[in-house]
Structures are given as C-alpha cells and as structure tokens.
C-alpha cells in the first residue's frame, strides 16, 4: 500500500507536467491559425515533392524499361528524404521584437501571440496567466485589424501598444538578473511591475477594440437613422408631403 | 375664371437659414447637461475617499505626489474623447451647397435646361412660321412643344441626380443625429467630471483650512499643489465643455440647413415636373398635339411622394386649361406661370444658400477659434499624461466607467 507521502513525488511531477502543458498551450487562436497555415504550406510542398519523385521514377522506368529493385529503393529513399526535409524546413519564422514592429497589421495579433508564447518560460506564474487573457483580447482585436487602414490613428496606436510597448515591457523584465527579480525597486518588485504593466496593456487592448469597433457601430446607427428619415415619414425632416 | 386660380395653390416657398451659432463661454457651458442626484452622490463618495486618502499620506512622500498627479490627469479621457468629436462640424463640409458639385451644380444645370424651354423667352409663339418670311411653314408652337421631347432625357437625369443629392443630404443628417448623440454622451461625462472637480475644490479648501493650525505644512501643500491643479483642471474641463457645446449646436445648424435644402430640392423637382405636365396639357389643348414625356411620367411614379401634390393640382387644372384653350393665349400664360414657379423656387434656394453659407462661415470661424484655444491645454494635458502614465490607472479619479 502506498502511503500518501510516497505519492507526493508523483503528485509533484504530475503538477509540473500539467503546468508545462498549460504553459505550452497556445494563448490564442490566431497564433494557432498562423501555425496551421504554415504546417499546411509545408505539407503541400512535401506532397508535391513526393509526387515529382514518383513521376520522375516512372519516366525513368519507361525510358530504361524498368528501374528494378534498386530503382524502387532509391525512389523510396529520395521521396522520404524530400518529405522529411520539406516538413522540417523552413522552420516557422519566429517573430522578434524588431520584426513585430514592421509586420503588417493583418497578422500583427497572431505574430504577437506567437512571440508571447515563446516568452512564457522566462516569466513568473501570474504573468503567464495574464498572458492567456491578453491572447484572448488579441483574438478579439484581430478581425478588426484586418480591415483597418495602416494610416489610421487607431492603427498606429495598436502598433505602438502591441508591437512596441508589450515586447519592450517583457524584454525589460527579462534583462533583469534572476536574483533581483523579486527584490523591491522603486516601490515594487520587477515581477510586480511586469504584472501591472501587462494588466494595463490587457485593459488598453480591450479599450482599443471598443474604439475601433465604434466606427462600425456608428455607421450602422447612421444607416438605421437614415432609413428612418427616408422611409418612415414620422420625422419632420422636410420629408413627406 | 382667371389663370390666377390655376397657380395660386402653389404656396410660396420659404427657406429660412438658421442663425449662426454664437461663441459659448465656459461659464455658460456648465449645467447644460443634467447630472442626476444619484450620480452626484456617487461622485461625492469618490471625492471623499480621495481626499481622505490624500490627507493620510505624508506630505513629502512620493505617495503624496502620486495622488496629486492623479489630479493633473483628472478627466483626461473625457476631454480627449470630447475634443475628438467636437470639431466634427469642421470636417462636415458645406460641400452639398457649393455651386461646383452636388445639389448646387444640378440645380444650376436644371435652371439652364428649363430656361431653354421657357415659353416667355420664345417670342410670340402664336405667329405662323413662314419660310423666307413669306411661305407658311409649320407652326412655331408645334416646334416649341417638340423641343420638350428632346430635352426630357436631360431633365429626367438631372432630376434623378437631384434625388440622389437629396438622399445624401438625408444621410448627412442621419450621421449628424448619431454624432450629436455621441456628443451628448461625451458632454454628460464632461459634466460629471466638472461636478467632481468642483466638489474636490470645495472639499480640499475645507480640509486645508481645517489643517491650517494642526499641520500647516500639509495645509500649504494641499493648497499649493492639489488645489492648484484642481482649479487648473476645472478650467480645462469647462473650456472643453464650451467647445463641445458649441460643436453640438453647430452640428444642429448643418442639419437645419440640410433640411431646408432638401425642401428646396423637393420643390425644384416638383415645380419642374409640374411645368412639364402643364406643357403636356397645354400642347394637347392648343395644338391637339400629343406630347409624350414618358421619362417624366415614369419619374412621376418613382417619386410619387413628391409629385403627388403637383399631380393633384394639375388634375384640377387640366379641365380648366381645356376650357380656356379657346381663349388662345391663356394656356400659354399658365405655362409661363408654371415656369415662373420653378424660377421662384430656385431664387429662394439661391437666397437661402447665400445666407446659410454666411451663417456656416461665422459658426465655423467661431468654432475654429475655440478649438484652437482648447488645443493648447489638450497638449499640456498630454504632456502631463506621459509624465505620469504609471499613476493614471487604478486611481480613484481615473476616467468614468462606461
């Protein structure tokens, strides 16, 4: 019979495992979508390569009247090698602080999510949970960014917040030596500063999502009001006879 | 029976240009938007909590400074929001009214086409046309009515464009309604911030007087920093409120102008179609010529709404015109009158436009001046905001919710 005490190691391991799982889970659907798109791109390339190898073998076989046992073996090996190489490379390009700054708006949210996911191991636990929230917010923001004009003031704001302030906050934290991360400085520990900063960013992304969609809300309201004025003559707007 | 009865039913068109919006002073600006008692007491609670918190801090500690920084940031969001909206009037162009494009251009074009058809500009239509002045050759009157057929396509396309222009004006007005609604909300928030800053002012003054003897250093700090910033902020909020109110009123001016212009466009279309239909009747009566103005008739059905009154008027008149046909020139006079109606409408629109443009100009100049003034403190507020970015959140005086 195992005593609960002897289970503790296992329990700890399980906890560590599930914590790792949580950490490794994507924080938003946009990063997943980007990864999936990359995977399918590679897969289709690999399929085409294998197809080319097979057709090539067929043509060679037709010309020299059968490629024989070694021919089949070589075809198989070449096909497998091509598939392996193409599935392995090119690796998903990892966004960096610099690339986030210049990335186009449409993929900004997804790339930021990927970048954030890569940063998780270096961050304290509360920040990791916050990251999950930010991922959610970025998911909500992403559809709005698709149609936003690059020169819109809102676009610049989003770029600043998501593409600059957020990476800089996290990089700033990472630069601090581990031993000082929990020592108080300027009223707060660096970990606390990081969490507070992330909270502000989280809230600000939400506000921005609201602001960007306000234009759309207004447009809809205007259209409704116009229909009222145009077709319901209830309103005395120089309308109706 | 005189011809007067035929046209008198068309009332004179009166288009009144709204007066320019006066400059709203900050003193007038307060209290325009009501703040409910419930909101007042909520704000009072926040003010009490803030003041108590401020007093509890050591005067020289950074914590005290942080609390004071909150004051410099008070209402920043509200001001930014209101300022982004209150100059909307300035980008609302007066474009619909200028002569080069839109409704103005279409009206001018309509006038040209209509003038070409005006019977009173054709000399005596009753004389027989003679080749080389001797040989009788067709009828002038007949030729005259034929000219209607050739210009009907043109007229109906102009009327169609006028209809579109009218729709655009209505769309503008719908947008103005929504913008005014947003401005009203922004003004409500500003008003709350003003109420709050006034309460803060009173409360801080009271506290600093209380502390005068027991803790003179703190009393002075409150007076010199906190109270100073609160008063500065109150002034900023009031100035922004004034600009916003002015923008709100200016938008209403644009709306009223548009409503008048829609009336004018409607009337111009109605009188034009009316004249054309009179021509159909007169042609029938005088020359027994069947004038087919298909395009205008089809226009009739699409804009049934506008044309209805004219249609009714004309149905009544048709019988009379036929009666008068024997009297030769009277139907032509009726037609001339119908044309006169179009001119009257267009003249009314022109006079209206002149006055309205003037009102608009005055209004936008006044507003531009005020907006310019308000830009100064918005810039200052931004500078402070950046300096104390960290303290702006989570503060008791942070932006109002919702």
- What is the pLDDT at residue B5? 39
Q: What is the pLDDT of residues B247-283, one digit of tens each?
A: 888 888 888 888 888 888 888 888 888 888 778 777 7
Q: How many CB atoms lie within 10 A of CB B367?
A: 22
* pLDDT value at residue B9: 46
Say if residue A232's pLDDT is above 60: yes
Q: What is the C-alpha to C-alpha distance for residues B233 and B79, in angstroms, rounded to an integer?
A: 10
What is the end-to-end Cα distance of chain A in Å, rounded?
A: 94
Q: Which parts of chain B register pLDDT below 50? A: 1-9, 301-308, 326, 389-395, 399, 401-402
H-assigned helices in A64-95? 68-88
Q: Rounded mean pLDDT of chain A?
A: 79
Q: How far apart are CA B323 and CA B345, in angstroms?
A: 28
Smallest Cα distance from A222 to chain B, Å: 5
* B306 vs A: CB within 8 A: yes
Assess contact for A35 and A94: CB atoms under 8 A: no
pLDDT of residue B201: 92
Q: For residue A161, what pLDDT is reported?
A: 85
Cα–Cα distance measured from residue A135 to residue A142, given in angstroms and rounded to the nearest whole number: 10
For residue B13 the two structure tokens come to 């068109």
Q: Which residues contact B6 (CB under 8 A, 6 or more apart)?
A: B317, B320, B321, B334, B337
Which residues of B are less than 8 Å from A215 in CB distance? none
**List of long-range contacts for B50-53, beta carbons under 8 Å, 24+ apart:** B50/B200, B50/B396, B50/B397, B51/B200, B51/B203, B51/B204, B51/B207, B53/B396
By the 10 Å C-beta count (0-12 exposed, 13-18 middle, 19+ buried), B23 is classed as middle
Q: Which residues of A touch B175 (CB under 8 A)?
A: 222, 225
pLDDT for B128 equals: 61
Nearest-CA distance from A122 to chain B in Å? 24
pLDDT at B2: 40
**Would you say B71 and B233 are in contact if contact means Cβ atoms under 8 Å apart?**
yes
Does residue B305 sit at the A interface (CB-CB below 8 Å)? Answer: yes
Question: In this predicted model, what pLDDT tens digit does every residue of A82-100 receive, in sequence order?
Answer: 888 888 777 777 777 777 7
Residue of B nearest to A186 (CA): B62
Contacts (Cβ under 8 Å, ≥6 apart) of B388: B66, B69, B72, B73
Given an 8 Å threshold on Cβ–Cβ distance, is A226 in contact with B174? yes
- Could you give the CA distance from residue A171 to residue B240 in angstroms, rounded to a whole number? 39
Which structure tokens are listed for A107? 């993929």
Write the pLDDT tens digit of every residue in B116-149: 888 777 766 666 666 566 666 667 777 788 888 8
pLDDT for the residue numbered B322:
56
For A28-70, write each residue's pLDDT tens digit. 777 778 888 888 888 888 889 889 888 888 888 888 887 778 8
Residue of A nearest to B401 (CA): A207
- Residue B227 corresponds to which tokens in the numbers above? 């109270």
Q: Is the pLDDT of residue A75 over 60?
A: yes
**CA B148 to CA B284: how far, in whole Å?**
13
Instruction: Name the residue facing B178 among A218, A238, A240 (closest C-beta).
Output: A218
- Name the closest residue on chain A to residue B261, using Cα atoms: A238
C-alpha dihedral (B378, B379, B380, B382), degrees to nearest 10: 90
Which chain B residues touch A225 with a CB distance below 8 Å? 174-175, 177-178
Mutate to test the interface with B, among A236, A237, A240 (most CBs of B within 10 A): A237
Tens digit of each residue's pLDDT (9 = 90 or more) over B7-51? 444 567 777 777 777 777 777 777 778 888 898 899 999 999 988
Whether residues A187 and B308 touch (CB distance < 8 A) is answered with: no
User: What is the rounded CA–CA span in Å between residue A91 and residue A88?
Assistant: 7
User: Is the confidence at residue A1, as pLDDT, over 60?
Assistant: no
Global confidence as pTM: 0.68
């Amino acid at each position: 019979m195992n005593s609960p005490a002897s289970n503790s190691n296992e329990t700890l391991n399980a906890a560590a495992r599930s914590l790792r799982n949580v950490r490794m889970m994507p924080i938003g659907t946009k990063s997943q979508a980007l990864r999936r798109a990359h995977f399918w791109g590679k897969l289709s390339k690999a399929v085409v390569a294998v197809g080319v190898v097979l057709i090539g073998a067929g043509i060679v076989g037709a010309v020299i009247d059968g490629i024989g046992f070694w021919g089949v073996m070589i075809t198989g090996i070449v096909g497998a090698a091509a598939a392996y190489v193409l599935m392995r490379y090119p690796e998903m390009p990892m966004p960096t602080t610099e690339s986030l700054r210049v990335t186009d708006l449409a993929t900004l949210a997804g790339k930021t999510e990927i970048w954030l996911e890569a940063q998780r191991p270096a961050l304290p636990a509360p920040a990791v949970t916050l990251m999950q929230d930010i991922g959610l917010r970025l998911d909500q923001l992403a559809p709005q960014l698709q149609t936003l004009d690059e020169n819109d003031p809102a676009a610049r704001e989003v770029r600043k917040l998501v593409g600059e302030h957020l990476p800089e906050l996290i990089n700033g934290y990472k630069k601090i030596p581990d031993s000082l991360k929990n020592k108080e400085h300027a009223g707060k520990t660096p970990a606390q500063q990081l969490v507070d900063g992330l909270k502000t960013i989280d809230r600000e992304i939400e506000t921005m999502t609201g602001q960007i969609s306000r234009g759309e809300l207004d447009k809809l309201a205007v259209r409704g009001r116009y229909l009222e004025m145009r077709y319901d003559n209830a309103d005395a707007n120089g309308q109706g006879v | 029976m005189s011809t007067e009865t035929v046209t008198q039913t068309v009332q004179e068109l009166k288009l009144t240009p709204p007066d320019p919006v006066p400059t709203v002073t900050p003193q007038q600006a307060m209290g325009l938007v009501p703040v409910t008692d419930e909101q007042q007491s909520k704000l009072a609670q926040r003010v009490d909590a803030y003041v108590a918190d401020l007093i509890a801090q050591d005067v020289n500690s950074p914590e005290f400074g942080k609390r004071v920084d909150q004051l410099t940031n008070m209402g920043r969001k509200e001001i930014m929001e209101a300022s982004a909206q209150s100059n909307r009037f300035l980008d609302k162009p007066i474009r619909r009214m200028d002569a080069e494009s839109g409704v103005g251009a279409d009206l001018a074009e309509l006038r040209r086409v209509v003038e070409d058809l005006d019977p009173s500009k054709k000399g005596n239509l009753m004389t027989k046309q003679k080749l080389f002045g001797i040989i009788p050759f067709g009828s002038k009157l007949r030729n005259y009515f034929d000219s209607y057929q050739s210009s009907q396509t043109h007229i109906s396309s102009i009327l169609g464009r006028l209809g579109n222009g009218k729709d655009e004006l209505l769309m503008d007005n719908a947008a103005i309604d929504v913008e005014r609604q947003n401005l009203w909300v922004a003004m409500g928030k500003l008003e709350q911030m003003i109420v709050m800053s006034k309460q803060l002012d009173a409360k801080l003054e009271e506290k600093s007087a209380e502390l005068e003897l027991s803790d003179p250093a703190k009393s002075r700090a409150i007076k010199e920093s906190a109270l100073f910033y609160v008063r500065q902020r109150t002034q900023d909020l009031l100035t922004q409120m004034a600009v916003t109110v002015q923008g709100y009123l200016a938008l209403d001016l644009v709306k009223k102008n548009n409503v008048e212009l829609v009336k004018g466009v409607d009337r111009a279309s109605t009188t034009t179609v009316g004249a054309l239909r009179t021509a159909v009747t007169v042609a029938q009566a005088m020359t027994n010529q069947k004038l087919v103005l298909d395009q205008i008739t089809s226009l009739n059905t699409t804009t049934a709404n506008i044309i209805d009154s004219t249609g009714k008027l004309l149905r009544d008149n048709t019988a009379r015109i036929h009666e008068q046909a024997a009297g030769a020139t009277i139907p032509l006079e009726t037609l001339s009158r119908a044309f006169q109606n179009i001119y009257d409408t267009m003249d009314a629109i022109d006079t209206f436009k002149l006055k309205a443009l003037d009102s608009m100009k005055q209004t936008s100049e006044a507003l531009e001046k005020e907006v310019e003034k308000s830009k100064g403190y918005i810039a200052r507020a931004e500078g402070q905001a950046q300096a104390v970015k960290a303290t702006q959140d989570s503060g008791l005086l942070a932006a109002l919710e919702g």
